[in-house]
Chain A
Amino acid sequence: EIVLTQSPGTLSLSPGERATLSCRASQSVSRSYLGWYQQKPGQAPRLLIYGASSRATGIPDRFSGSGSGTDFTLTISRLEPEDFAVYYCQQYGSSPRTFGQGTKVEIK
């Protein structure tokens, strides 16, 4: 099973700032099948990025993903008030699909 480790655990930033979230895999993620999800309290996750760098339908271009192999990054170029949430990475290149433990982006 591939273990995903996200860092940092919490990111304290102000609106307008840039957020950089990391996701490291215990082994190479097949075909860069790595996705990022945003989750707000009491809500289901929302797909942001798939295939490491492709934005999902309707996702603003301030969200971008990069990386390959074992190291992946989600960047939010300029934080909007609605972006403060928990972000999870997920690999789906091998079974079982696994999620990271999440990074909370909070208002500073």
Chain B
Amino acid sequence: EAEVAQSPRYKITEKSQAVAFWCDPISGHATLYWYRQILGQGPELLVQFQDESVVDDSQLPKDRFSAERLKGVDSTLKIQPAELGDSAMYLCASSQEGNNEQFFGPGTRLTVL
């Protein structure tokens, strides 16, 4: 069964450093989402792509976060510089056009020291 892939699974960094996360959605899924999940809370959407275009980035802290999906397939989320409050699980999800179901990847757990 096809799954959303993410890497790395774990990342430890020091504050002020740059970090990047990668996501490969299920083949053929046009919509890709990046969520942030703080421990003990539900996931919160950071950015949503439809193919290569951003359709919602209203919750993305644009002064330090950036996301791209250049060819409309895989995607990268970057944080620069990382802050202590960025420690969280970063989840990627994808969905098929015409289908509301979102499939989640295993996530990248970020720890900022």
A and B are partners in one complex rather than unrelated chains: no
B contact residues vs A (CB 8 Å cutoff): none
